[in-house]
Amino acid sequence: MLGDIFDDIFKTPEPIVKQRTELGRYALCAHQGRLYDEHDGEIETHEILPETGEHIHTIAKEAIKTSDMDLQEAADYITEELPKIRPDLQPEALRAGKYLAAEIRRFSGNRVLICEEPVTRSLIPATNTTGEVLIVTEPDLVLATIKADTIIALDYKTGYKDRTNAEAYDDFQTCVVSWCLFAKFPEVNKIHWFYLNTRLHTRSYVLIERERDEANFQTRIFETYRIAISGCDDAWPNPDKCAQCDVNKWCKLCNGEVFDFTRNPKAYLDQFVAITARINKMENVLKKAVKDGRIIFGTEGQYDDYPKRKPSNKASFKKAKDNGKEEKENND
């Protein structure tokens, strides 16, 4: 039918949706982003902190929703629910959750605008051949202030990293979420951004301003998207990045052939940084495994913490005898 022909001609292509976390991997390291895409479904993490973080986020979301957006009641709900978390996760959960509850109470006078809900913004408009590119993110908590042009964004972190204010400003999450919030709230010109480092009981703060930051953030997001679709597979090693990477067992720097230093010093150093970070992560696992006095035996070696233990403060029988002998000699 003639109508069907025109429908096919003018049919809008499906939009291309990119999650903030997905793009964030490419912003951190193009090779890491590529490995996440290639090995999706094979990646395993068995660390307590990420699992604890998921529980804390779930409880916080339920607390705010069930408390009708009353942050004071939500803080009470979090405190009550923490002891119900799995026993093995409770020490970390209590440490992080109680601090989060205390921080949420500080903002109890502010009205909740968003609580872990998707916020979307168009990055690239649709064409005849490609769909519109949409960036999606889910802020943990966004609050109103007494000023119509100013809002507060809170993000909870349960990891080891204690971000400086400068690191908070440079974080790709700060970039994407702020850029999306500027679109959702056209009247907003300022965002007070807080990372609540719940495990460490610290906070990181930065002021985001539309006039100064919005265009720069968009440029950064666009370049990250371009890298993601270009097939770029460059590795950008850094001790902090590599130590927290869940796909380093497939990394070409950690597992590739050793570079010839004289042929390519830069590549050699990059591999050294990545492998060193991987070794440090492995050593941390071994340290935790032997901290109770256990010994791990390998084929021709062993790992224990005996050389690292502090000497006992208790006086030994031998030391007591030696001290007595010295006193006697001094008296003579």
Query: Are residue 154 and residue 249 in the same domain, yes or no?
Result: no
Closest of 241, 198, 191, 162 to residue 57, by C-alpha: 198
Using CA atoms, how far residue 326 sits from 9, 81, 232, 329, 331, in Å, is 102, 61, 73, 5, 9
Query: Do residues 191 and 251 both lie within one domain?
Result: no
For the cut 70, the answer to whether the pLDDT of residue 144 exceeds it is yes
Residues 207, 192 contacting (CB under 8 angstroms): yes
192 DSSP 8-state letter: E
Residues 78, 168 within the same domain = yes
CATH number of the domain bearing residue 38: 3.90.320
Reported as a pLDDT band with limits 50, 70 and 90, residue 187 is: very high
Contacts of 19 (CB under 8 A, 6+ apart): 136, 137
Q: Is residue 3 part of a domain?
A: no
- CB 240 within 8 Å of CB 255: no
Residue 90: domain span: 15-230
Domain count, the chain: 2
pLDDT per residue as tens digits for the range 62-80: 999 899 889 999 999 999 9
Is the same domain home to 203 and 243?
A: no
Q: Is 209 inside any structural domain? A: yes
Q: Give residue 317's pLDDT.
A: 45
Q: Are residues 108 and 159 in the same domain?
A: yes
pLDDT tens by residue, 199-232 = 889 999 999 999 999 999 999 999 999 999 999 9
